[in-house]
Chain A
Amino acid sequence: MGRKLLTEHINVEGIQTFDVYRKHGGYASVEKALKTMTPEEVVEEVKASGLRGRGGAGFPTGMKWSFLAKPEGKPRYLVCNADESEPGTFKDRYLMEKLPHLLIEGMITSSFALGARTSYIYIRGELLYVLRILEKAIAEAYANGFLGENILGSGYSLDLHVHPGGGAYICGEETALLESLEGKRGNPRNKPPFPAVWGLYGCPTVVNNVESIATVPWIVTNGAAEYAKIGVGRSTGTKLISAGGNINKPGVYEIELGVPVEEFIYSDEYCGGIWKGRDMKAVIAGGSSVPILPKELILKTAAGEDRLMTYESLSDGGFATGTMLGSGGFFVMDDQTCIVRHTWTLARFYHHESCGQCSPCREGTGWMEKVLHRIEYGHGQMHDIDLLVSVAKQIEGNTICPLGDAAAWPVAAAIRHFRDEFEWHVKHPERATAPGAVYNKADSVLA
């Protein structure tokens, strides 16, 4: 059994309430930080822990914090990104719903470290019931002196607000989130300047994922050294994985980074193997934006080493043969899954969610969706496949925000690894569009 740092008490009866949470050691990090540490010491602790951002990009959290500009006379803000809308990722919701006080504790300790006096949790609009849970927990924290003026007599004051989004995936992108929080249309900003210099209301701001912030209390309470003992290399600590798709036990798992992918998929402690006794075809390891990998490449790297659940191991081989840990949305597809249909579904999502500011993403996402739709429904031509690769390339790297990349990568990767399946759809439209028909390699002999 791996260690559980975030979810140890998640099934304790009443853990959503302040009293029960407190009885199980909750808010210890606030006491420790505010009474015995300076803000700089907290930042150093987080730096030393090796914690990397859990929102997708994996940027070291302590380093991000130390970049925060500190000009005179300007407030600084901490904003928690709880917009979680990436298909296949549902860990933040689980954490907030079950352990609202953990996030609030993390917000207080982190805000103290950053010198923020007002902080925000920007939550996905569809999660209104979670917002209610958080608001209730925040009220409890105020009532018990952990929020508001002069927290625990330390002289440090903090106000915490929860703000719901309006239902746009793009508002999870940190600068679009800030625009939205300011009450504007959620268009990503041009960068630089980065939020660390010019963030919310033009003030220095740190945006962090829910899980990143929820990890801070453990690090501060137990020490960075203890945290860094867990994991492999530069992937320290534990990570929440949203496991979904054709597995026996979908759900959110807290794993120690470094668990072999094979163990994660097949052991009963985690996913419990592929459902219905089927074989596995492919996996998306880090949320819908990261490249899909076929069974052979997700279990072993191109060099034949076991693939581990770490940032480094999953990205081994670059995009040619690797992928990314991303946000930890782990999506398993069995051998009855149609990759073309799946790719079309993702393309449809990104087409729908593009903010439309920059031309390659606005136009290219729609184009890819339409071409994929044609191929899936038996109207594709061979040159369409290369066209898709070319359009994806025209988007990638040429846009304002990473949504363009996120839309391009899944299409490019699906064709990179499953080109034969796309070709089969083009060559045999009647068979490909027959109800329930799925390509398999054996079939390609007939093709």
Chain B
Amino acid sequence: MVKITFDGIEVEVEEGTTILNAARKIGGEVVPPAMCYYTPLKGSGGKCRACLVKVAAGSAKDPRPMPKLVASCITPVQDGMVVENTTNPDVLATRKGVVEMLLINHPLDCPICDQAGECDLQNFSYEHGTSGTRYEEERRTFEKIDIGPLIQLHMTRCILCYRCVYTADQITEKRVHGVLGRGDAAEIGTYIENVIDNDFSGNVIDVCPVGALTDKTFRFKNRVWFTKPMDAHRDCPKCSGKVVLWMRGNDVMRVTARKDKYNEVQEFICNECRFDHKDPNDWTIEGARKIDRGSVISANHYELPVLNVPVVPNLPGSTEDDLKDTPFNLGRSV
């Protein structure tokens, strides 16, 4: 075990743990955001630069600071390391810059995007970005592409986190999915619209942090905050069969894998579970899913006050007073 200090908090973790995972062990506000790293996917991380932190002391043996900010998701801890995240103004300013970069070519079409409400980019920019933009140039766009009958690729929204590429590589049987081109013209290609058709292809939808890969069977059917997530399972010969049903009334609007509080899939599910069982009678329903994040999903019924939800920090104008009389009063005890 090694000991590190993260934002002034000491934490003990196993050797080889990344700085990000050490911070996750502490949990809460100090955890750096991660837009590309994804625990279940080998090789992921290092790309988006959202998780950059300052290493103020490299280790007990060599306490010199690291010269550049480092990607916390891929940098292993050393005993005696001192890391600054929310306590370092440089880190916060740089992160603001990363948000800006990720948004300059983003279409900002949240009002018509199926991912809205459960989008990592929305959360990231809301929590770490600025409200305006300095970008006056034309944004790059791509044509929408159908990846088979079930998945749609809207490349214009993609942040090139490579998660779907790793997913296609690591959990599906054959790889027809990669990145073509380079720079800001790089795109998720399926090698001339080659259909990803195998039993686990649908997982690329779940790993996508934005609305670039969406479920065509759910397209425009509903907003996620109108649907109620329910844990459910079935006997499935192909996967664990443990899913989340997103229900409106008694209808199953869509089926996804279960995700943890960092929006990472806990167990990948097969396409049959995801696309072919939209009848609640196919499932054993375990109960309402707890959504941990300050997400709009957890606010899926405005009419029923949920008690004691803490004030979501960092939101502009999110003091108790500001929110008291708005429809967004998430029922906190006033």
Listed in ascending order, the chain A residues whose CB lies under 8 Å from chain B are 168, 170, 185, 190, 351-360, 362-367, 370-371, 374, 387, 390, 394, 397-400
Q: Are A190 and B71 in contact (CB under 8 A)?
A: yes
A362 to B102 alpha-carbon distance, docked (Å): 9
A185-B178, A400-B47 known; A356 and B101 CB under 8 Å? Answer: no
Task: Find A398's partner among B74, B94, B140 (CB 8 Å cutoff).
Answer: B94
- Give how many B residues have a beta carbon under 8 Å from the other chain's beta carbons: 35
B45-58 vs A, CB cutoff 8 Å, 1 = contact: the mask equals 11111101000000
A363 to B160 alpha-carbon distance, docked (Å): 11
B31-47 vs A, CB cutoff 8 Å, 1 = contact: the mask equals 00000000000000111
A276 to B183 alpha-carbon distance, docked (Å): 39
Q: Are A362 and B74 in contact (CB under 8 A)?
A: no
A190 to B178 alpha-carbon distance, docked (Å): 19
Q: Which of B147-187 contact A (CB under 8 A)?
A: 159-160, 162, 178-179, 181-186
Smallest beta-carbon distance B130→chain A, Å: 12
A233 to B101 alpha-carbon distance, docked (Å): 43
Interface centre among A190, A354, A364, A374 (most CB of B within 10 A): A190
Smallest beta-carbon distance B211→chain A, Å: 17
- B138, closest chain A residue (CB): A370
Task: Find A359's partner among B101, B134, B182 (CB 8 Å cutoff).
Answer: B101
Interfacial chain A residues near B102, Cβ < 8 Å: 359, 363
A442 to B209 alpha-carbon distance, docked (Å): 54
Smallest beta-carbon distance A348→chain B, Å: 11
B137 contacts the other chain (CB 8 A): yes
A363-B102, A370-B137, A394-B97 known; A358 and B183 CB under 8 Å? Answer: no
Task: Find A356's partner among B94, B134, B137, B186 (CB 8 Å cutoff).
Answer: B186
B69 contacts the other chain (CB 8 A): yes
A-B contact pairs, 28 of them (CB 8 A): A190-B71, A190-B74, A352-B183, A353-B182, A353-B183, A354-B182, A355-B183, A356-B160, A356-B182, A358-B48, A359-B48, A359-B98, A359-B101, A359-B102, A359-B160, A360-B49, A363-B101, A363-B105, A364-B101, A365-B183, A366-B184, A367-B135, A367-B137, A371-B137, A387-B134, A394-B94, A397-B68, A399-B49
B118 contacts the other chain (CB 8 A): no
Interfacial chain A residues near B186, Cβ < 8 Å: 355-356, 362
Q: Are B185 and A356 in contact (CB under 8 A)?
A: yes
The 5 closest A-B pairs by CB, nearest first: A356-B186, A394-B97, A354-B183, A363-B101, A190-B46
Say what secondary structure dominates the interface of chain B.
Answer: loop
Smallest beta-carbon distance B139→chain A, Å: 10
Interfacial chain B residues near A356, Cβ < 8 Å: 160, 179, 181-186
- A367, closest chain B residue (CB): B104
Task: Find A362's partner among B46, B94, B160 (CB 8 Å cutoff).
Answer: B160
Interfacial chain B residues near A185, Cβ < 8 Å: 178-179
Q: Are A363 and B184 in contact (CB under 8 A)?
A: yes
Known: A355-B183, A398-B94; 12 extra A-B contacts, CB below 8 A, are: A355-B182, A356-B181, A356-B186, A357-B46, A359-B101, A362-B160, A363-B184, A365-B184, A367-B104, A398-B52, A398-B98, A400-B46
Interfacial chain B residues near A365, Cβ < 8 Å: 183-184
B100 contacts the other chain (CB 8 A): yes
Q: Are A357 and B184 in contact (CB under 8 A)?
A: no
Q: Are A359 and B137 in contact (CB under 8 A)?
A: no
A338 to B303 alpha-carbon distance, docked (Å): 64
Q: Are B49 and A354 in contact (CB under 8 A)?
A: no
Interfacial chain B residues near A359, Cβ < 8 Å: 47-50, 98, 101-102, 159-160
Smallest beta-carbon distance A26→chain B, Å: 40
A337 to B135 alpha-carbon distance, docked (Å): 29
A365-B183, A367-B137 known; A360 and B160 CB under 8 Å? Answer: no
Interfacial chain B residues near A360, Cβ < 8 Å: 49, 97-98, 101
